[in-house]
C-alpha cells in the first residue's frame, strides 16, 4: 500500500467515523447535543423543532450524506474512474441544498434569517467549487523562449533556462504519494505533489494519464508535465533541449 493511499484511508476514514457517529446520535439515539446552538435554545424552541420535523430532517440529512460519502470513499479506494469526483460533487450539493431545505422547519421568527444565511453559504460554496473546478480544467500555456521556460495559469512558474540543470523524457509518471497543494480530478493534476523518492515535493502539470512526460529539474526544484497531445509533449522536450545546448 502506498503512502498516498494510506493517507487517503486515514483522512477519509476519520471523516467517515465522525459523520457516522453524528448520524448515529441524530438518527438512532435522538441526541442532538452536537447540533450547533441546539443546547442553548429555550425549551419551547426545542419542542417546536421536534414537532415541526426539523430534528428528524437534520438526522436524515446527515445520515444520507454519510452514505454518499461512504460510496465516494469506496470509489476512490478502488480507483473507479470518476466516482470520487462525482461522489464529492453530489455530497456537497446534497449537504448544501439540504441545509437550506431544512430551514423550512425552523421556528417561525428565525426561519427567514436562517434561510438567508444558509442560502448564501450554500450558494457561495457551490459557486466557489464550480469556479475552482473550471479553472482547474483550463489548459496551462507553455512557452519556451530565448531565455525563459514559462508555464502560465494555475500554479504557473517561470524559470530562467540557465537555471535548468537537466530535462528528461519519462515514459511513466513516478508514483504520487500525496497532494500537498494542488488540483486533481479526472486525470488532470496541477500544483504541488509529493512523489516517490528520489523526486520528493515538486510541481505537476499533467493533462493526460498516458506518457510521455517531460521532467524539468533545477538545483532545488522540479516539475513534470505533459500535454493532451503526445506530439506537443515531445515538441516541448525537443525545444528545451535545443535551447539548453
User: Which one has a higher pLDDT value, 107 or 210?
Assistant: 107
pLDDT grade, residue 238 (50/70/90)? very high
Whether residue 204 contacts residue 223, with contact meaning beta carbons closer than 8 Å, is answered with yes
Residue 2 in this model has a pLDDT that exceeds 80: no
Residues 63-67, mean pLDDT to the nearest whole number: 97
Residue 43 in this model has a pLDDT that exceeds 90: yes
Residue 1 in this model has a pLDDT that exceeds 70: no
Residue 179 in this model has a pLDDT that exceeds 80: yes
Domain ranges in the chain are 3-137, 142-244
Compute the distance between CA of residue 99 and CA of residue 94 in angstroms, rounded to an integer.
Answer: 8
54, exposed or middle or buried, with CB in 10 Å at 0-12, 13-18, 19+?
A: buried
C-alpha cell at 150: 514559462
Summarize pLDDT for 80-97 with one digit per residue, the tens. Answer: 877 888 899 999 999 999
Please tell me the predicted confidence (pLDDT) of residue 27: 94
Taking phi over 0 as left and psi of -120 to 50 as alpha, with beta for the rest, 186 belongs to left
Instruction: Give Cβ neighbours of residue 65 (< 8 Å, ≥ 6 apart).
Output: 19, 23, 91, 94, 95, 98
What are the strands of the beta sheet with 148-151, ordered from one edge?
142-144, 148-151, 157-160
Compute the distance between CA of residue 182 and CA of residue 193 in angstroms, rounded to an integer.
Answer: 7
Residues 139-150, mean pLDDT to the nearest whole number: 91
- Three-state secondary structure call for residue 148: strand
Please tell me the predicted confidence (pLDDT) of residue 186: 75
Please tell me the predicted confidence (pLDDT) of residue 77: 86
User: Which one has a higher pLDDT value, 172 or 177?
Assistant: 172
- Three-state secondary structure call for residue 55: helix
Compute the distance between CA of residue 207 and CA of residue 136 in angstroms, rounded to an integer.
Answer: 10
- β-pairing verdict for 176-185 and 222-225: unpaired
Amino acid at each position: 500500500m502506498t503512502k498516498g493511499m494510506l493517507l487517503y484511508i486515514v483522512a477519509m476514514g476519520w471523516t467517515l467515523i465522525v459523520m457516522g457517529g453524528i448520524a448515529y446520535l441524530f438518527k438512532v439515539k435522538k441526541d442532538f447535543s452536537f447540533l450547533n446552538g441546539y443546547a442553548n435554545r429555550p425549551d419551547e424552541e426545542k419542542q417546536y423543532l421536534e414537532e415541526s420535523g426539523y430534528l428528524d430532517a437534520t438526522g436524515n440529512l446527515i445520515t444520507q450524506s454519510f452514505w454518499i460519502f461512504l460510496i465516494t470513499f469506496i470509489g476512490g479506494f478502488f480507483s473507479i474512474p470518476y466516482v470520487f469526483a462525482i461522489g464529492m460533487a453530489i455530497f456537497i450539493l446534497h449537504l448544501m441544498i439540504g441545509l437550506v431545505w431544512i430551514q423550512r422547519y425552523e421556528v417561525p421568527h428565525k426561519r427567514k434569517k436562517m434561510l438567508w444565511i444558509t442560502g448564501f453559504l450554500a450558494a457561495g460554496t457551490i459557486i466557489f467549487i464550480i469556479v475552482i473546478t473550471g479553472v482547474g480544467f483550463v489548459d496551462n500555456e507553455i512557452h519556451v523562449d530565448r531565455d525563459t521556460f514559462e508555464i502560465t495559469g494555475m500554479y504557473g512558474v517561470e524559470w530562467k533556462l540557465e537555471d535548468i540543470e537537466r530535462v528528461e523524457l519519462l515514459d511513466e509518471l513516478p508514483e504520487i504519494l500525496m497532494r500537498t497543494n494542488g488540483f486533481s480530478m479526472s486525470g488532470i493534476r496541477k500544483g504541488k505533489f509529493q512523489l516517490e523518492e528520489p523526486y520528493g515535493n515538486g510541481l505537476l502539470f499533467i493533462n493526460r494519464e498516458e506518457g510521455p512526460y517531460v521532467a524539468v529539474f533545477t538545483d532545488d526544484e522540479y516539475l513534470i508535465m505533459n500535454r493532451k497531445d503526445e506530439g506537443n509533449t515531445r515538441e516541448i522536450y525537443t525545444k528545451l533541449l535545443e535551447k539548453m545546448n
